[in-house]
Amino acid sequence: FARKTLTTAITGASLALLAVQVQAAQTVNLGHTLSDSSHYSVGADAFKETLERLSDGEFEVVEHTAGALGGERALIEGLQIGTVDVVITSTGPLGNFVPETYVLDLPFLFEDYDQARCVLDSDLGQDLLDKMSDHDIVGLAWSENGFRHMTNSQRAVKTPADAEGLKVRTMENKVHMEAFEQMGVHPTPMAFPEVFTALQQGTVDGQENPITVIVATKFWEVQDHLSLTGHVYSPAAILGSPILLDGLSDEERGWFIEAARASAEATREEVSRLEREGIELLRENGMTVETEIDKAPFQEAVQPAYEIYTEQYGSEMLERVRASS
Ligand code: PAF
């Protein structure tokens, strides 16, 4: 009888422990707008693996991909009201919330990946992440989207004159829109989940995005021409909701930051891989690729965007970027 009682007690205690463990797993909803095969998903998987390991199962990350929770602007709004916990987003719509980040969207600001990554990993990058808390967003880490290139359905683009008159979908970002206007292109801001259909239906002629996105979205199905304009570096940010993160201990918050850094590292590796292998894949799928682009006339065409930016936001951030490069 004593043994039976002991066994029952142990079983009861194990069940109670299990119940506590099951109850303790807090769901972390992570959202982004790209497909499951994208560089953002590689980053989301690394975030999930790291946070669940560090927290020993206290947090469980559920990934919502392909714009299931909306476009990037909607996702950032979701962070502020707590309907989503962690978001991976380009800086496209971020300046609407944190104007200090607009500096990163200036065309031809960075020459290559090493320079861009170095600036984002510097004190300036950390200051920008810290600034976000003034706007009800927790900046966890800088990740990456990649250098953006133009695609369109009409013609090969080698010079700004070739691009003139094209209707091009841009992100909802006024620095980008201004630069395209200066180039003679008609910028059409649109949330990313609507872009494929808009290209398919001919509402717009083209779009611009890094190789990573062009591959992940199979844009070759609706776009024939790719020009490696590399007109702007597109950072990605890993952001958290203050509604979740402000209630956590320092240790728990530290796990989120570490998970975001692991995510950024995995994403950057995937971006580098796609930079090496993606263009061939796009060619194999029928896109014509203009590789020999003289960037000087494009740079010259978008120069007024810098003046408009500094008139509105001053030159301090721009000088800091240049000093950190
Ligand atoms: O073009 C955009 O909106 C962004 O580059 C994307 C594809 C959503 C990735 O952040």
For 51-88, the pLDDT digits (tens) are 999 999 999 999 999 999 999 999 999 999 999 999 99
For tokens 């936001």, the residue is 313
Segment 194-216 mean pLDDT: 98
Whether the CB of 143 sits within 6 Å of ligand 1: no
pLDDT at residue number 110: 98
Task: With H, G, I as helix, E, B as strand and everything else as coil, classify residue 41.
Answer: helix
Task: With H, G, I as helix, E, B as strand and everything else as coil, classify residue 159.
Answer: coil
Question: pTM of the full predicted structure?
Answer: 0.93
For tokens 């691009």, the residue is 163
Contact of 142 with 110, CB cutoff 8 Å: no
Residue whose CA lies nearest to ligand 1 atom number 9: 90
pLDDT at 142 over 80: yes
Q: 177 Cβ partners below 8 Å, 6+ apart?
A: 170, 187, 189
pLDDT at 21 over 90: no
Residues forming a β-bridge with 240: 86, 138
Distance CA 285, CA 75 (A): 32
Whether the CB of 51 sits within 6 Å of ligand 1: no
pLDDT at residue number 325: 87
Segment 284-313 mean pLDDT: 96
pLDDT at residue number 301: 94
Question: Measured from the CA of 71, which atom of ligand 1 is nearest?
Answer: 8
Mean pLDDT, the chain, as a whole number? 94
Q: Which two tokens stand for residue 268?
A: 């950057």
pLDDT at 119 over 60: yes
pLDDT at residue number 195: 98
pLDDT at 9 over 70: no
Element (H, E) at 181: helix 174-182
pLDDT at residue number 12: 57
pLDDT at residue number 15: 56
Whether the CB of 229 sits within 6 Å of ligand 1: no
pLDDT at 47 over 80: yes
Distance CA 237, CA 142 (A): 5
For 246-256, the pLDDT digits (tens) are 999 999 999 99
Distance CA 83, CA 78 (A): 5
For 306-325, the pLDDT digits (tens) are 999 999 999 999 999 999 98
Distance CA 210, CA 52 (A): 30
Q: Are strands 86-90 and 26-31 parallel, antiparallel or unpaired?
A: parallel
Rounded to a whole number of angstroms, the distance between the first and last alpha carbons of the chain is 76
Residues forming a β-bridge with 188: 169
Question: Measured from the CA of 171, which atom of ligand 1 is nearest?
Answer: 3
pLDDT at residue number 315: 96
Segment 99-111 mean pLDDT: 97
Whether the CB of 102 sits within 6 Å of ligand 1: no
Segment 260-279 mean pLDDT: 98
Question: Measured from the CA of 217, which atom of ligand 1 is nearest?
Answer: 7
Q: Which two tokens stand for residue 263?
A: 């995510």
